[in-house]
A and B are shown apart, each in its own frame.
Chain A
Amino acid sequence: MDFSITPDQRLMQESLARTLADVSGLERVRRFAGDPADKGADVYAALADFGLTGIVIPEEYGGLGLGLLDAALAAEALGAAVAPGPFLGACVLAPLALRLAGSKAQQGEWLPKIAAGQVVAGVAIAEQVAGARDGAGVTASGGKLTGKALFVTDALIADLFIVADQAGGLHLVRGDAAGLTRSAMISIDLTRPLGEVVFAATPAEPLEGDAGALAALRDAGWTLLAADTLGAAQVMIDKAVDYAKERRQFGRVIGSFQAVKHLCAEMAAELEPCRALVWYAAYAFDDAPDEASLTAAHAKAHTSEVGRFIARTATEVHGGMGITDLLGLHFWFKRIGLNRQLLGGPERVRRLAAQIQGLTA
């Protein structure tokens, strides 16, 4: 019995953090956020060099062949760095969809290109997980998709899309397919662009494998969003604690006031158990499938609640500086804010958690 991450996993995470510090420091994040034409190609190339584009892709297709726990550790590092550009959909959910439901031919065609960083895949599953809004929803008929999908990851730059239809089936759509149009959905978090994709009798290839693939994508998505929040929230705590040790008022560092230090303690006390919860959810995805959905739901909902508390409290510990653009703390605040709502806010996810374990209908 070993409930810990391995030395190799720790090394990978630390090494990724160093890579991100090099290629994606706060100034790089600011440029990406401030310029819609900036596609973050340099950052993505660094992720590909690191192997993240193939992290869950089997080695036979040029990937690293690692598990969801490794992907979650990477997501944590990316959240900590508020790293701009594709990861969740392009590097994890799309490859997982192909792995779980794609044919050999589909896997052979796309996985090597994704692993090499040559193809960015957008993922359109929001309606099937978080619910359909504003008339969104996609129907499949005769090899064609019709309708629209919201909150599609990397919608503007994707070369390929994985699309869930209203019946829960998954489809593969080429970025240049006929009748496909895309537009940006600008959220608070400018580090991870989302978009709307409209399909008008757009040719699509079904992914015909495992019928449970959509649920698996949902579980993986929930877990990685939680991991991203874990990383971002830890940085917010670290920054707040550092600030509280330096900032002086009334002749003392503010961290010596219990009113401030207790806020810091509460943040740490709330976040630390989330780490074990996220690890377990990611582990369960690969090794304890019976528990995967419930633990993923709880990891997502709970870490989102804790994340909101920390985003707000860490900002408050910084006093007025906390809300300035100059400090840049808001990048983490907004990252946590997006993670909370994407693929369902906590209330919706908890309702699903009760259903998943058969407590409610």
Chain B
Amino acid sequence: MDLKLTPQMEAFREEVRGFLAAHRDHYAGGVAGSRPREAALEWQRLLIEQGYAARTIPKAYGGYGAEPDILKTRIIAEEFTRAGAPRGFANQGISMLVPTLLEVGSEEQKTRWIGPTLRGEVVWCQGYSEPGAGSDLASLQTKAVEDGEDFIISGSKIWTSTAAQADMIFCLVRTEPDAAKHDGISYILFPMTTPGIEVRPLKTMTGSAEFNEVFFTDVRVPQSAVVGGRGRGWFVANATLKHERGMLGDPNATEARLHSLIELMKTERVDGERLIDNPVMCDRLMQLQARVMAMKFNGLRLLTASMTGEPAGMAGLVVKLQGCELNHQIAALAIDALGELGVLYEDGPHLRAKGSWQWNYMFDLGLIIGGGTAQIQKNIIAERGLALPREPKLASV
């Protein structure tokens, strides 16, 4: 254990701080949004140029081209969080498609898609889940039938976030209907403007449509758009899911949320008493702080393991399950500590934090379910981490 940073790393930290201080007016007004606007695109280009986004993506594909240095990546994350500056885009195209293309994409696919995706010029959505294929993703039925040089795609996808804004979709389709379940799937890319695609917003309990349903009716896509080889889609997708699970348990985001909760409980009062001075509420806060700390240090342990190339083991398997649950519980305590005010949701003089605690509480339940439900996570921990047997397969149900 030696958590001290070398002088070079401290110097790098100063460099990031200097950049953020000098460019405060670029991001102070906020640049986020699922369909990046001009200011956001400009910010993203600046970040790539500086190496604060797309840092390790080769220059030839539009990245910054640095050697992987997990510590520098972490310093960037810490300093951006500290400054309240928006990070580079972390949409599904960048977080999931780009690493997949780098791993298994053809040279043509890498050259064509990675740069524009990194710069935010091309927005992607992910076509994985189907109404009949959730936890059992490999049973997906959207079919792609060969027709000359093309596939004709029919079927539907669900839980497709940003489908309405997306230019492109990376999609799992069944190309080999007679092959075994996991062997008949291909991973394919096509424009959302292709004739035969219909997007319907899927409104959730938060009141907004964070997801969509996507319907394909005879959508014609060239076979050359397959990534990683025909029939290899399941293995390609698993590489991608690994990236998604890492994204869903980020301890930095959880820590930032805990800080907001602590501020809330220090400043809000009921009958003149600060919320944090209620012993029961304070006890719950301390329980969560301990868990946040444990996940943060667990993250440092994983960071070290990835730097030395050691397998992450159990410490890695638990991140999605614990991280998502923790986020949900932080939102739950904020609502409880606010008491009656905690139920307010629409604009008004008494609304706190724009209703974001309730929104998080509801949205985070979706994250506990999405990306592999908590129950699936427990299967993974038990089977891969503890070597417990799989559920026996039934002949029929």
Contacts and interface: CB of A to CB of B under 8 A. Distances in A.
Interface of A: 1-6, 69, 241, 244-245, 252-253, 255-256, 258, 261-262, 264-266, 268-269, 272-277, 279-280, 283, 287-288, 295, 298-299, 301-302, 305, 347, 350-351, 353-354, 359-360
B388 A264 contact: yes
23 contacts: A1-B2, A1-B4, A1-B5, A1-B303, A3-B303, A4-B304, A255-B382, A258-B375, A261-B386, A265-B381, A273-B291, A273-B294, A274-B294, A280-B300, A295-B293, A298-B290, A299-B290, A302-B287, A350-B287, A350-B290, A353-B286, A354-B285, A360-B276
Nearest to B6: A1
Contact of B290 (A4, A258, A268, A302): A302
B311 interface: no
B139 interface: no
Contacts of B301: 3-4, 275-276, 279
State the main secondary structure of chain A at its contact with B: helix
A3 B381 contact: no
B283 interface: yes
Contact of B318 (A244, A258, A269, A360): A269
A265 B282 contact: no
Given A1-B4, A253-B389, A258-B379, A298 B303 contact: no
A295 B381 CA distance: 27
Contact of B378 (A241, A256, A261): A261
Interface string B291-335: 101110110110111011000001101100110000000000000
Contacts, number: 165
B1 A262 contact: no
Interface residues of B, number: 53
State the main secondary structure of chain B at its contact with A: helix
Contacts of A272: 298, 314-315, 318
Contacts of A277: 290, 293-294, 297-298
Contacts of B9: 1
Contact of B1 (A5, A245, A269): A5
B152 interface: no
Contact of B314 (A256, A268, A279): A268
- Nearest 9 pairs between A and B by C-beta? A276-B297, A302-B290, A298-B290, A350-B286, A273-B294, A265-B378, A3-B300, A265-B381, A261-B382
A32 to B, nearest CB: 31
B392 interface: yes
Contacts of B392: 252, 256
Interface string B249-281: 000000000000010001000000000110100
A301 B294 CA distance: 12
Nearest to B299: A276
Contact of B386 (A241, A276, A287, A305): A241
Contacts of A350: 282-283, 286-287, 290
Nearest to B75: A1
B82 interface: no
B341 interface: no
B282 A354 contact: yes
Nearest to B279: A351
A292 to B, nearest CB: 13
B304 A359 contact: no
B391 A1 contact: no
B389 A255 contact: yes
Contacts of A280: 1, 293, 297, 300
A301 B375 CA distance: 27
A302 B382 CA distance: 23
A305 B392 CA distance: 34
A2 to B, nearest CB: 5
Given A264-B382, A351-B279, A359 B266 contact: yes
A266 B305 CA distance: 23
Given A244-B388, A272-B315, A347 B293 contact: no
B287 A305 contact: yes
A224 B7 CA distance: 33
A324 to B, nearest CB: 23
